[in-house]
Amino acid sequence: MSERTLGIAVIGLGGAVGTTMVAGIELLKLGKVDKTGLPLSELDQNSAKDLAAYERIVFGGWDLNAENLAAAAEEHEVLNHKQFVAVENSLSKIYPWKAAVDERFLSNIEGGNFLPSKDHREVIKNIVNDLKKFQEICDQVVVINLASTEKLVDESSEEYSSLAAFENALDAGSENISPAMLYAYAAISTEIPYGNFTPSVAADIPALIEFAEMQNVPIAGKDGKTGQTFIKTVLAPALKARELKIEGWYSTNLLGNRDGLALSNEDSLRSKIKTKASVLRNILGYEVEDHIVDIRYYRPRGDDKEAWDNIDITGFLGQKMQIKVNFLCKDSILAAPLAIEIARCLDLAKQRGDSGIQEQLSVFFKLPMTKYESPEHAFHIQNKHFLKWLNA
């Protein structure tokens, strides 16, 4: 693997997934954990040669919450006691940078760690300054969005339709421009690859896709495919291959972490349900009218998410059957390694001179960004495309 230093600048660094990424890499550096759960850790030497070594990754990033990462990780309770003790000292030295914030897009998460900014251009300037400072200690920087889910916006807005329209909206202080878009714009303007692990609308608007192509910057998103949707996009193609008709698919999630709290707000929830609900039609080729996706904030579970799926199917002779899946997962333990791999792949894409939407990274996302065609959702097909790119 490459000996270059890869800097991951995380938006939402103090969150459950952000702190788990940082702690995980630190534990690897200390030799306290192995690489189980990191999807690209077992590649042969040749495929992996240009990917940044896990041990060469360093972190920086923004959070609304000013506390250091040890204090944040302690609150999230994702690490076990031994793991926390091993990384507490190094995490306590990392403080998030001041965030870009707008309460119109995120209502029920609090924190005072943000710079008062009089306009969008000033916010962008602050983000760019942070990135430039970080670049001084890294060979390559990648930005990954792991912030709380913002409210759903009207993606067809004229202001998002082209770079020129977006720039005008920036100058006019438009209320339709979210922090997620400002971070994405700042990264692209600095020629830094950008990955969106959240359902928030960001680099997926036409204006920023155009900007990424113009700047030769690779971008990818959106919404990490970690638990329930991952399993759904594995099972659905198999049922399709056997011509078992899916009559209904009821998916419920219980989660009690801060992501769950953010999603208990109706506006943020709509963003998440949109990305989760879109996968079946593409895989099956028909609409499952009774595809229901439900997410509940349920505090006792903390980060130990529970996902239930009930699938009603019809087989030969019109006979009805049911499949029940109960995935007792750990939200951040599934998410953190994917976010790390997305960053390493975006760095690889940049080295290869790939720019714009990196469709081959669809394998990591619930709602993959595509330029012309509707996205491929079937996991086995996504993985085939991804490995072909990796080995190219």
Q: For binding to ligand NAD (CB under 6 A), which residues are involved?
A: 11-12, 14-18, 62-65, 99-101, 106, 109, 111, 146-149, 179, 197-199, 223-224, 226-227, 257-259, 262, 331-332, 334-335
Our CB check for ligand NAD shows the closer of 239 and 345 to be 345
What's the min distance (Å) between Cβ of 77 and ligand NAD? 11
Q: Which is nearer to ligand NAD, 92 or 162 (CB)?
A: 92
* Residue 73 or 209 having the CB closest to ligand NAD: 73
By beta-carbon proximity to ligand NAD, the closer residue of 100 and 209 is: 100
Task: Give least dist CB 318 to ligand NAD, A.
Answer: 38
Looking at the Cβ atoms of 225 and 344, the one nearer to ligand NAD is 225
Q: How far is the CB of 365 from ligand NAD (least distance, A)?
A: 9
Q: State the nearest-atom distance from the C-beta of 327 to ligand NAD, in Å.
A: 11
Enumerate the β-bridge partners of residue 296: 254
From the CB of 90, what's the least distance to ligand NAD, in Å?
Answer: 19
Smallest distance, Å, CB 13 to ligand NAD?
7
Q: What is the dihedral of CA 272, 276, 282, 283, to 10 degrees?
A: 160
**CB 335, min distance to ligand NAD, A:** 4
Q: Which is nearer to ligand NAD, 146 or 378 (CB)?
A: 146
Q: Closest CB to ligand NAD among 48 and 342?
A: 342
- For ligand NAD, which residue has the nearest CB? 15
